[in-house]
Structure 1
Amino acid sequence: MTVLVTVAIWIAAAFGIIGIPVLSLGLIASLSNGEASLPGIEALADGVSPGSFVIALGLLCVIVPGVIFICIQMRRILLTLVEGDPFVPENAGRLSRIGIAIAAMELIRIATLLVVRALPSLVGDAPPKLSTQLILWISVAALFILSQVFREGTRLRDEEKMTI
């Protein structure tokens, strides 16, 4: 399982390394009459609003590091599970941090959409739809509850160790 999390970290990093320059070039093309060229690279962005690229670039810059952070926290939790003792105080904090990271990524996504919608020159004819994903907020709540379960499990385990 640790190997899968490590692979997920590398895949997220690769998407960030490839995606950010590609989306940046697309944004430049959409702002400059639909064309942009660099040595060996040409980009055509006819009919695509700059707002689409701003949204994609902004979200990529937030989501890739967020996913990497979440994968690292999950890897640390899995390491304690492999060691045979998942009920350590650190895991409760890790679960809380994962919940905060997911909530922050969703709030930044919504803020990015609001900024792009507020700038008519970026949006063009079709403004992006403002929506929230209920399943993310349910996941955040579940992670905070699970964090408290781990805190209580740690407390009970420590209490049991002191019992004769």
Structure 2
Amino acid sequence: MSLRKADPLLAIARIVLIVMQALAALGAIACAIAVPAIFIFRSQVETELRSEGIPLDAFTALASLLALAAIAAALVFLVARLLWRMVGTVRDGDPFVPENATRLSRMAWITLAIQLIGIPMAAVAVWLNEITQDAHAENVGDGISVSAILLVLILFILARVFRKGTEMREELEGTV
């Protein structure tokens, strides 16, 4: 029986990854459009900020946060796309291919970049909360996630495992 029919987890993973890619792409596009839009409509945005009693410094914070969010969402899309391709090799019955080791390494570097982008995003969010004096704002954190750092390490290690597994399979095939 092929994996295509036998493994519902792979089918679920593919659906989740399609949705994740769509949402990440939509978020990246929306934020990327919003950044120039708030500059194009700057006077209207500043008027709205003033009417809410928010200092105009919030404009810069908002533009910065949107730009960083666009980058982060685009990177999430890339990770989901790489994982989508890996799931395809698993579904096809041959996950130990050199491309998957490369994909895992790329996913690790991209995940690290997302984590690093989270640091200035958190700083800008704190700044935005301070200048808007938002007493009801939730704690935005410090941008550092232990679980994300752990994920980066796992991805790098799995990349090495896949690379070694591929080498061992090639050696075995060469001796047969």
Q: Establish whether TM, by shorter chain, passes 0.5.
A: yes
Query: For the structure 1 residues 70 and 121, does the alpha-carbon distance in structure 2 shift closer, same or farther, using more than 3 Å as the test?
Result: closer
Structure 1 segments unaligned to the other structure (5+ residues)? 37-43
How does 1:9-158 map onto structure 2 within 5 Å?
9-22=21-34, 25=38, 28=42, 32-35=46-49, 46-47=53-54, 49-50=58-59, 52-113=61-122, 116=124, 124=131, 130-158=142-170
Match status 1:160 vs 2:172: yes
2: CA distance between counterparts of 1:66 and 1:133? 17
Q: Tell me the amino acid that sits aligned with residue 67 of structure 2.
A: G
Superposition RMSD on alpha carbons, in Å?
A: 3.5
Indicate if the aligned counterparts of 2:65 and 2:121 stay in contact, CA closer than 8 A. no
What is the percentage of aligned positions where both structures have the same residue?
A: 26
Of 68-77 and 48-57, more deviation after overlay is shown by 48-57
Q: Tell me the amino acid that sits aligned with residue 119 of structure 2.
A: I
Structure 2 segments unaligned to the other structure (5+ residues)? 1-10, 135-139
Deviation at 1:6, TM superposition (A): 2.4
Query: For the structure 1 residues 80 and 131, does the alpha-carbon distance in structure 2 shift closer, same or farther, using more than 3 Å as the test?
Result: closer
Count matched residues: 154
Query: For the structure 1 residues 21 and 29, does the alpha-carbon distance in structure 2 shift closer, same or farther, using more than 3 Å as the test?
Result: farther
Query: For the structure 1 residues 126 and 136, does the alpha-carbon distance in structure 2 shift closer, same or farther, using more than 3 Å as the test?
Result: farther
Deviation at 1:105, TM superposition (A): 1.4
Q: State the TM-score, normalizing by the size of structure 2.
A: 0.69
Q: State the TM-score, normalizing by the size of structure 1.
A: 0.74
